[in-house]
Structure 1
């Protein structure tokens, strides 16, 4: 009688071990870096003020649905904002905290979802270089970097299979939209 249940019990044990292995926190750091950059025909200070003002995020980033909190000004070090997002068809709410603000050059925010750190976004802005290699006051090289780590093996697998590519595509679309918006004749 016991012999008849050995295979199903072994199967259940194997399945439980597999699920546990997929969901246990990773003992190593599996990090992902999403990087995009674009040249924008606007001065660095103007671009900086626009991208660091959260009420503008839904206008140019496809993942940003709405923002709440301190949204009407460029956020300074220590300020927080709540963003409702959808990334790669997965939605949620993230609380961003500014961890670095050096107007008009660098700005970084750390995100938390349900008390868990989910990643860091950094903007770097530099005056554009003309062919004569002199800084131009009218153009900006805008770089956007999103860094995050995989908390579990399951997340790492999903990230490698689809998530990273989806996030990269959304980030690329975001900087394309930002450039178009800021370079439009009626730009904000």
Structure 2
């Protein structure tokens, strides 16, 4: 590492919401990346080449909006344990990391936890705060969408 280079820091963003919808309904919806744009404001589109929840080993691509720039992402599903856990790793020119969903059945619905872990060499002060805000908005939208569909 050169003296002027900044070390890459691993960042973690975690949010959870109680959703008034059955565990399987939540899992089946959130594990379809081609539907992420319906609830996540940074997701523009995804191409999985299939329909439904993705199994382990599936590779897919997504285009995200990163501070106004369209960034192509490449993913690989690492964990797909229906209906409790889904994890995918991603890489791009701008950011690398993983998305981890953990779901728990609770009376009347599902506790959904989304953890985004990432690293980037981009030195953008606003990036982490923006990603925290967008993740919160995404889970609020997800909750509203699933409760409307289940209601």
- Report the secondary structure of 2:4's partner residue: helix
8 Å CA contact retained: 2:76, 2:89: yes
2-structure distance, mates of 1:31, 1:86:
20
Query: What does 1:60-139 align with in structure 2 at a 5 Å threshold?
Result: 60-114=39-93, 118-128=96-106, 136=107, 138-139=108-109
* Equivalent position to 1:147, from 96, 108, 117: 117
Give the number of equivalent residue pairs. Answer: 150
1:172 aligns with 2:142: no
2-structure distance, mates of 1:164, 1:71:
32
Residues 59-82 of structure 1: CA deviation (Å, up to 9, x unaligned) = 001111111133421001000111
8 Å CA contact retained: 2:87, 2:99: yes
Residues 33-68 of structure 1: CA deviation (Å, up to 9, x unaligned) = 011110001111110000001221110011111111
Alignment TM-score, normalising by the size of structure 2:
0.89
Alignment TM-score, normalising by the size of structure 1:
0.73
TM-aligned CA distance change 1:143 to 1:178, over 3 Å = same
Larger radius of gyration between Structure 1 and Structure 2: 1
2-structure distance, mates of 1:70, 1:108:
18
* Equivalent position to 1:37, from 16, 25, 38: 16
Structure 2 runs not aligned, ≥5 long? none
2-structure distance, mates of 1:117, 1:170:
16
8 Å CA contact retained: 2:103, 2:110: yes
For 2:32, the equivalent position in structure 1 comes to 53
Structure 1 runs not aligned, ≥5 long? 1-17, 129-135
TM-aligned CA distance change 1:117 to 1:173, over 3 Å = closer
Q: Which has the larger share of helix?
A: 1
For 1:181, the equivalent position in structure 2 comes to 145
Residues 136-160 of structure 1: CA deviation (Å, up to 9, x unaligned) = 2x4000000100123x4xx2x42xx
